Structure 1
Amino acid sequence: MCETSSQSQWYALRTKSRHEKLVRDQLEKQGIEPLLPTVKRLSQWKDRKKEIEVPLFSGYCFVKFSQQDRLPVQKISGVVEVVGSGHRPEQIPDEEIEALKTLMTSVLPYDPHPYLHEGMMVEVVRGPLRGVHGLLLRKEKRHRLVIGVRLIQQAAAVEIDVDDIGPV
């Protein structure tokens, strides 16, 4: 067996709906390192309000394991699959996991956000351009939305707030 196949790597598990904490707890019981980023939400019932902790990424839990531990991880109750392409799990770079861990231990407030990147098609979800689709050109404090006419290969660009757009 080669050295790299026995080393632990980070992977994402897709879980059944509302099973993320159960999966995390079962992984810990088996001595396998999980990571479940959570956020606090105010939940309202008929008679009271309560602050609850919910997964940052609904339906996902991260786990660090080596390839020989893949089967026990997949057999955990609540696990749907190890995320990857085809039947091959894809590892998550350590720096992405470290960034999440740093965020979780910081005092800064954080929330889930649509995954946006330059070059992707987006839709304006609020504001005067609501319903317009365009290309995300630049990602900084403000985004630039490019609205194009393919047939004549012409486009217009407008500055837009990140909170007003979402992926198509």
Structure 2
Amino acid sequence: MESLLEVSDAGLVAAVNAFERGRGWAKAAPLPWYAVRVKSNFEWVTATMLRDKGFQEFLPVYRAKVRWSDRVKETEKPLFPGYVFCRFEAEQKLPIISTPGVVQVVGVGKQPVPIDDQEMDAIRKVVRSGGPSMPWPYLQVGERVLVEKGPLKGMEGILVQVKSKCRIVVTISLLHRGIAAEVERDWVRPVPGSPSSSSHRI
């Protein structure tokens, strides 16, 4: 009798393992990203407090040179000044708006509007790449390209040219703001259907 129970238990475990490998257990969808408007120079303070409350926050920064009276110092600055990105349920925004430094959650009226997932993925990919990046004016027109090589491989954006350097601009439509990251010209190819104008020259 004992051996039959052992076989039965072993069969049950095997069946469960097979189910997990084949179909997997249902996973909860990740919470949407929202743009949180904060007071000037409160980006780091607010981001830290949101993290301490248990929220997943994201404060994208870039390295910039600041000239002082006697020297030039390199420091970190927000890529989107005045904003911190955070994941949460829209119906449970009270802990967000009660955080020191928060002005509002970006949306329509009092209803928060989530950031497009592809736009957030692109911004996070630029930051993770570790390459040079900087804030950039929002662009709606230009040659849309796909990066085929380098740390930004697989990302789409708008190609601009500054002197001899090429940059790919990715934007957050809801904020009408963007950032630019440097790429090699032979790393990108046009996306079918993009405007025929080759690039913006600045």
TM-score for the superposition, normalised by structure 2: 0.56
Kindly name which structure, 1 or 2, has the bigger radius of gyration based on alpha carbons.
Answer: 2
Distance 1:141 1:22, change over 3 A: farther
Q: Which residue of 2 aligns with 1:112?
A: 135
Conserved in 2, the CA contact under 8 Å of 1:39 and 1:55?
yes
Conserved in 2, the CA contact under 8 Å of 1:8 and 1:67?
no
Mark the runs of 5 or more structure 2 residues left unpaired by the alignment: 1-28, 143-193
Distance 1:59 1:141, change over 3 A: farther
Distance in 2 separating the partners of 1:18 and 1:118: 31
Distance in 2 separating the partners of 1:139 and 1:41: 34
Q: 1:88 aligns with which of 107, 111, 114?
A: 111
Structure with bigger helix share is 2
How far off is 1:8 after superposition? 2.1
Distance in 1 separating the partners of 2:108 and 2:98: 19
Match runs of 1:5-20 below 5 Å: 8-20=31-43
Percentage of pairs with the same residue: 37
Distance in 1 separating the partners of 2:30 and 2:140: 31
How far off is 1:7 after superposition? 6.3
Q: Which residue of 2 aligns with 1:142?
A: 199
Distance 1:91 1:29, change over 3 A: same
SS of residue in 2 equivalent to 1:112: strand
Larger mean CA deviation between 23-32 and 65-74 belongs to 65-74
Distance in 2 separating the partners of 1:7 and 1:82: 19
SS of residue in 2 equivalent to 1:39: strand
1:25 to 2:74 alignment: no
Conserved in 1, the CA contact under 8 Å of 2:90 and 2:112?
no
How far off is 1:10 after superposition? 0.6
How far off is 1:46 after superposition? 1.6
- Aligned-residue Cα RMSD (Å) equals 2.2
Conserved in 2, the CA contact under 8 Å of 1:118 and 1:139?
no
Distance 1:118 1:47, change over 3 A: closer
Distance 1:101 1:7, change over 3 A: closer
How far off is 1:107 after superposition? 3.4
TM-score for the superposition, normalised by structure 1: 0.66
How far off is 1:111 after superposition? 1.1
Mark the runs of 5 or more structure 1 residues left unpaired by the alignment: 1-5, 120-136, 144-160, 164-168
SS of residue in 1 equivalent to 2:93: helix
Structure with bigger strand share is 1
Letter in 2 for 1:75: S
How far off is 1:66 after superposition? 1.3
Letter in 2 for 1:63: C
How far off is 1:53 after superposition? 0.4
Q: Which residue of 2 aligns with 1:52?
A: 75
